[in-house]
């Protein structure tokens, strides 16, 4: 028995902020942001908007496309580090908004790798025969937790949610192989001490600077490239394939320079790598499922194609999953 994604969905806050919009509140420029990151705009949550609403919308899209009612689910797993509450978990909150009861719902905290980690938890449980239908969510709103006075980090992130409905299924399609890694000793390359007060770009409130996202960008850059490239190669080899067999790589959308460097290291043509970060920025755990949903919609892959997901984020955490669609 294995597991297969049969429906995907995505949702973002209503308003997109361009680099020019950020120029008005930060000492930065469109040219700097685009040349260093590839990002042109991102959707940012404004005061009063709710990540829970966005994740619920993404989940409903995924359920609709899967042709499954929320009441049929056996579990809900959310990859997120942006829940407004320490508890109930974000997944429990989505469970409530979807009107489901009794089934297990819990979060997986792996920062930008959250969706890949959550997908693996769902896949393993389904292989073991524990669940048959699982909703996996990746949702984050890191823009509400950055220091809006720090141009080195504030320009990088966007907010949103993506979701996937997985079903257990025998046969050759679905999740073929997943590898997950963490390196706690590198925790301080990317960290966020506390959640609590949300401070959107438009908010009058500001978080204490000590409680905002901290990043050692240049060091993180190097480790992200190496770890994403290594785990990609390993997961493909372990599944008995080569990179040439893979139809499309759907990476965590951190930064175009990271994605290009990973592709260079792997000898992958850039057109095999799906990129949408110019419109979303880095949406953390939401980036892989949002990109998966868009790539599918754009016809970048179809039935029986090999699709590779990979991610790296705070923890550090990183992982990759090879799927036969």
| Binds ligand ACO by CB under 6 A, chosen from 80, 120, 232, 255 | 255
Partners of residue 302 on adjacent β-strands: none
Closest CB to ligand ACO among residues 75, 213: 213
Among residues 19, 61, 255, 282, the one annotated as catalytic is 282
Among 184, 218, 269, 299, binds ligand ACO (CB under 6 A): 218
For the CA atoms of 229, 232, 235, 241, the dihedral, rounded to the nearest 10 degrees, stands at -110
By the rule CB under 6 A, 299 interacts with ligand ACO: no
Q: Is 112 in the active site?
A: yes
Q: Is 19 helix (H, G, I), strand (E, B) or coil?
A: helix
User: Which residue among 119, 146, 156, 164 contacts ligand ACO (CB under 6 A)?
Assistant: 156
Query: Per CB under 6 A, which region of 32-40, 82-90, 238-246, 294-302 contacts ligand ACO?
Result: 32-40
Give SS3 for 318: strand
Which member of 221, 226, 233, 243 binds ligand ACO (CB under 6 A)? Answer: 221
Which residue from 35, 16, 112, 32 is spatially nearest to 318, judged by alpha carbons? 112
Indicate which single residue of 121, 254, 268, 307 sits in contact with ligand ACO (rule: CB under 6 A). Answer: 254
Catalytic residue among 112, 255, 310, 312: 112
Q: Which helix (H) or strand (E) holds 159?
A: strand 159-169
CA angle 288, 290, 291 (to 5 degrees): 65
Nearest-approach distance from CB 282 to ligand ACO, in angstroms: 5
The answer to whether 31 and 179 have CB atoms below 8 angstroms apart is no
190 is a contact residue toward ligand ACO (CB under 6 A): yes
28 lies in the site for ligand ACO, by CB under 6 A: yes
Closest CB to ligand ACO: residue number? 217
- Which H helix or E strand runs over 248? strand 246-251
* Spatial distance between the Cα atoms of 174 and 307, rounded to a whole number of angstroms: 10
217 scored as a contact of ligand ACO (CB under 6 A): yes
Residues 91-130 as x/- pattern, contact with ligand ACO by CB under 6 A: ---------------------x------------------
Of 134 and 141, the one with the shorter C-beta distance to ligand ACO is 141
Residues in binding contact with ligand ACO, number by CB under 6 A: 25
Q: Count the neighbouring beta carbons within 10 Å of the beta carbon of residue 25.
A: 14
**Helix (H, G, I), strand (E, B), or coil: what is residue 181?**
strand
Catalytic residue chosen out of the listed positions 252, 255, 310, 312? 252
Query: In Å, how far are 195, 217, 252, 267 from 260, measured between CA atoms?
Result: 32, 17, 12, 10
Closest CB to ligand ACO among residues 98, 213: 213
Neighbouring C-alpha atoms within 13 Å toward the C-beta of 247: 15
Q: Out of 152, 196, 208, 270, which residue is the one contacting ligand ACO (CB under 6 A)?
A: 152
Cα 14 to Cα 49, 51, 121, distances in angstroms: 9, 12, 31
The residues assigned a catalytic role are 112, 252, 282
- Interface residues with ligand ACO (CB under 6 A) are 28, 32-33, 36-37, 112, 151-152, 155-156, 190, 215, 217-218, 220-221, 224, 252, 254-255, 257-258, 282, 312-313
């Amino acid at each position: 028995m294995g597991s297969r994604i049969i429906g995907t969905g995505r949702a973002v806050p209503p308003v997109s902020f361009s680099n020019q919009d950020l120029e008005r509140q930060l000492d930065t420029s469109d040219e700097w942001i685009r040349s260093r990151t590839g990002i042109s705009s991102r959707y940012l949550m404004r005061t009063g908007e709710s990540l829970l609403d966005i994740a619920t919308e993404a989940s409903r899209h995924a359920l609709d496309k899967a042709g499954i009612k929320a009441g049929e689910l056996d579990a809900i797993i959310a990859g997120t580090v942006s829940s407004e509450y320490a508890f109930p978990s974000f997944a429990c909150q989505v469970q409530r908004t979807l009107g489901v009861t009794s089934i297990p719902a819990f979060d997986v905290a792996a920062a930008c790798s959250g969706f890949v980690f959550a997908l693996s938890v769902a896949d393993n449980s389904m292989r073991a025969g524990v669940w048959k239908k699982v909703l996996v969510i990746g949702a984050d709103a890191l823009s509400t937790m950055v220091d809006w006075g720090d141009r080195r980090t504030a320009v990088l992130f966007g907010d949103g949610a993506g979701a996937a409905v997985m079903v257990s299924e025998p046969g050759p399609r679905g999740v073929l192989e997943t590898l997950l890694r963490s390196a706690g000793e590198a925790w301080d390359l990317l960290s966020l001490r506390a959640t609590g007060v949300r401070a959107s770009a438009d908010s009058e409130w500001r978080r204490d600077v000590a409680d905002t996202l901290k990043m050692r960008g240049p060091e993180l850059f190097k480790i992200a490239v190496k770890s994403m490239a290594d785990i990609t190669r390993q997961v493909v080899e372990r599944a008995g394939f080569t990179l040439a067999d893979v139809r499309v790589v759907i990476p965590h959308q951190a930064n175009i320079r990271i994605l290009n460097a990973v592709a260079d290291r792997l000898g992958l043509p850039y057109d095999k790598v799906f990129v949408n970060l110019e419109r979303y920025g880095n949406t953390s755990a939401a980036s892989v499922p949002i990109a998966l949903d868009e790539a599918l919609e754009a016809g970048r892959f179809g039935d029986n194609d090999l699709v590779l997901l990979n991610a790296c984020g705070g923890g550090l955490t990183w992982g990759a999953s090879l799927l036969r669609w």
